[in-house]
Amino acid sequence: MKIERMSFAALASLMIAFAACTEEPQQPEPEPEPDPQPQPVVVTKPTAEMRQADIFATDLFETYYLWSKEISKDIPRLDPDTCKIPISVVHDIRYHESGKEVDHWTVLTDDLSSMTSSVQGLGLTYGYDFQIGNNPNKSGTYFLLVTYVVKGLPAEKAGLKRGDVILTLDGKDITRDNYYDAFNSASVKVGISHIENRTIGAVEKEVEMTAVDTWENPVLLDTTFVIGSKKVGYLVYNSFDLMSGPILANVFREFKAEGINELILDLRYNGGGYTFTEGLLASLIAPPANVKAGDVFQTEVYNDVLSRAWKSQGYDSNTYFSTKHDYEGDNVSIHEDVSDANPGVDKLYVIVSGGSASASEGLIVGLGPYMDITLIGQQTYGKYCGGYMMSPEAFYGSSSTAEYSRIKKWGMYVMTSKFADKNGKNAAQPDGIPVDIEAYDIPYDGYQLGDQEETMLSAALKAAGKTGTRAGVSTHQVFPLEIVDHRAPRGILVKTELPGPLPTK
């Protein structure tokens, strides 16, 4: 650069003047160093795989995405000639409003199979869930508070139970670097402690667990309580996965045989799942007359492209109560007739928390116009929309398999619609459904799920008329643990049936 040459020349002059003053023989002025040669800029283009992923994500955003119009100016960022990180760009351009992220859920993945398996409750598991909190005994470390264990799986076999506190993993403190090992490793040794006298104690023992590759049954518990002259069913249900549909039907056949009058549905750990299973459960709970009549369970709002296309073709986007539920796909075949399983409950109590999301909220919203519902717990998460898990083959058709062979394992969970009740109302939008009776989930209260003295269940039983419960206990009255996260996923509502064919562009 010119300035650099000038600086070098000035420095050379000073050196010459200094040499003259010392009467040393003058040295010849050194030749100026040549300018460094500019390095060529190497411009790399997206790989063929990334190009296909860019096109796939663009097509889904423009066709299916609920907020396609609102993000239209950002979709060109997925230009297949320049975009080399489509997964990140999809995350960045999903819908924001006034700078706040509205869509937390749309995601592009290069492993759709793993995502689908996770929603179906399949894969390696220890069979437990937990809350993550800051360890008050040692700064910068965490504790894991066990919320439940699944019968017959490694956590239960190792002796873990609700309320246990895990302080170490493989002998090490739990930090941001290793806490995933508690649920995402082939095997782990956990150090167990407990809360006593408002204090987390030291590690009392260590147990080892080896994960198993299996289906985790989300029907955690069902039983019946007698309150005065009535019988109240109680069901803890943790995920609207596909394979639990027939199990739900059998649970309700038992409830019907026992003659339950009311139902307590515990969704505190249920982050959502498939609309198919949501509709099946709704048809088991709703008044039998409405189910038999096939009344509207939910209405849907789609983007302008889909709404116009399907309306012009006469397709109905509503979902209805039904006695027959059939599903074929995702390696699952379900044909369930529930006409003999609805017990005809007069009153529904739903236990919820900030982890109750999506299909859980949709069930409450859709049943609302038909039933007397009391919500107990904490305001729900606020996932008021649903989407499709779409593969390139499903979107483009089997004839495109060769053309999109590089992304055949890819997929996108794309938000497609907002659900509402039969009157077009959605209490989950925008921030979740408020509760009628406040209660807190306190896994360390000394009681297991299903125990009538367990904090949230006791609040529900009190609402149902039971006396002598310890309902209303605040988490801060027990021990103010600082919970920073929950492992259970939130906000999954997977739609399984299209109202009509894709509109042509």
- Tell me, yes or no, whether 106 lies in a domain: no
Query: What are 297-353's pLDDT values in tens digits?
Result: 999 999 998 888 888 888 888 999 999 999 987 778 999 999 999 999 999 999 999
Would the pLDDT of 117 be above 90? no
Q: Are residues 248 and 154 in the same domain?
A: no
Last residue of a domain, one of 187, 214, 241: 214
Q: Are residues 344 and 435 in the same domain?
A: yes
pLDDT score recorded for residue 418? 93
42 pLDDT tier (thresholds 50, 70, 90): low
pLDDT score recorded for residue 154? 95
- Tell me, yes or no, whether 314 lies in a domain: yes
Q: Are residues 143 and 173 in the same domain?
A: yes
> How many C-beta neighbours within 10 Å does residue 118 have?
14
Q: Are residues 246 and 280 in the same domain?
A: yes
Q: What is the DSSP string of 172-235?
A: EEB-TTTGGGGTSSSEEEEEEE-EETTEE----EEEEEE-EEEE--SEEEEEEEEETTEEEEEE
- Tell me, yes or no, whether 285 lies in a domain: yes
Query: Minimal CA–CA distance to 363: which of 373, 378, 353, 376?
Result: 373
What single-letter amino acid sits at 69?
Answer: K
- 3-state secondary structure at position 16: helix
Expressed as residue numbers, the domain containing 164 is 124-214
Residue 243: CATH number of its domain? 3.90.226.10
Total structural domains within the chain: 2
Q: Are residues 376 and 452 in the same domain?
A: yes
pLDDT score recorded for residue 15? 33
- Tell me, yes or no, whether 86 lies in a domain: no
Q: Are residues 259 and 391 in the same domain?
A: yes
Supply φ then ψ for residue 312, to 5 degrees. -65, -25
Last residue of a domain, one of 214, 242, 260: 214
Residue 162: CATH number of its domain? 2.30.42.10
Would the pLDDT of 18 be above 50? no
* Terminal Cα distance for the chain, rounded: 54
Instruction: Write down the mean pLDDT value for the chain.
Output: 86
- Tell me, yes or no, whether 238 lies in a domain: yes
Query: What are 264-297's pLDDT values in tens digits?
Result: 999 999 999 999 999 999 999 999 999 999 999 9
What single-letter amino acid sits at 131?
Answer: Q
433 pLDDT tier (thresholds 50, 70, 90): very high
Partners of 221 in beta bridges = 236
- Tell me, yes or no, whether 22 lies in a domain: no
- Tell me, yes or no, whether 375 lies in a domain: yes
Radius of gyration of the chain (CA): 30
Instruction: Specify the pairing of strand 492-494 against strand 272-274.
Output: parallel
Q: Are residues 257 and 370 in the same domain?
A: yes
Question: How large is the average pLDDT for residues 60-88?
Answer: 96
Would the pLDDT of 486 be above 70? no
Partners of 173 in beta bridges = 168
- Tell me, yes or no, whether 16 lies in a domain: no
Q: Are residues 300 and 180 in the same domain?
A: no
Q: Are residues 361 and 481 in the same domain?
A: yes
Q: How far is residue 503 from each of residues 52, 389, 474, measured CA to CA in Å?
A: 21, 18, 52
pLDDT score recorded for residue 470? 64
Last residue of a domain, one of 214, 249, 268: 214
Q: Are residues 278 and 387 in the same domain?
A: yes
Q: Are residues 165 and 275 in the same domain?
A: no
Q: Are residues 169 and 261 in the same domain?
A: no
Alpha helices in 373-452 (DSSP H): 392-396
Which comes out higher in pLDDT, residue 504 or 493?
493
Report the C-alpha gap between 268 and 379 in whole angstroms: 10
pTM for this entry: 0.85
pLDDT score recorded for residue 237? 98
